[in-house]
Structures are given as C-alpha cells and as structure tokens.
Amino acid sequence: MKYLTKELPIIELGTSLGFVALNAIKQTNNKIICLEANKKLISLIEDIFELNLVASNQYQILNCALSHIKQLLYFSDRGSNELGKLV
C-alpha cells in the first residue's frame, strides 16, 4: 500500500472477490474503480463492500475487461472463479 496516494482514485483490474480493493479503500479512503470480467462476482463484491461498511459512493464496479488489441472479449467462467478466463 505504500504506492497508493490519497490524492488519486484507484483502478483495480481483475477485482475477483474485492478483498484487495477493500483493503485499498480502508488504507486510503480513496474512491476505487473495480473492473471484473466475471459477471457472477459483481453482486458478491457489492455484498463484501456493504458488509465492511464501504459507502456506495466510494466505489464503482464495472463488468468488463481490457485488452491491448481492439476486439470484443468474451469471458468464460467455466463453473469456477479459479477456472475463468477470457476467450
């Protein structure tokens, strides 16, 4: 956390369950933008933030993925968070 500043928002790529994001919010009190490709995890992230008393104006969760090439990306969860991948 020594590289996070309190002046800038945080962007997390691949939020998974949100525990790293939650720690970053608690350490800095910054707004965080979470990108997660697995749509099944979005409500879990929201629940974890709510249970840990993170205000809804402190975060934004986007169901998306980024790529260095311009093409449509598809996410396959393959029945497990650990087995999910972009295809």
CATH number, domain with residue 14: 3.40.50.150
pLDDT tens digits for range 41-75: 999 999 999 999 999 999 999 998 888 888 777 77
Our CA angle for 83, 85, 87, nearest 5°, is 140
Asked if the structure places residue 70 within a domain, the reply is yes
- 76: pLDDT confidence band, cut at 50, 70 and 90? confident
Mean pLDDT within 22-40: 91
Asked if the structure places residue 4 within a domain, the reply is no
Mean pLDDT within 35-45: 92
For residues 70 and 67, what is the distance between their CA atoms, to the nearest angstrom?
A: 7
- 87: pLDDT confidence band, cut at 50, 70 and 90? low
84 pLDDT above the threshold of 80: no
Residue 30 structural domain? 10-86
Question: What are φ and ψ of residue 84, in 5° steps?
Answer: -65, 150
How many structural domains are present in the chain?
Answer: 1
Asked if the structure places residue 5 within a domain, the reply is no
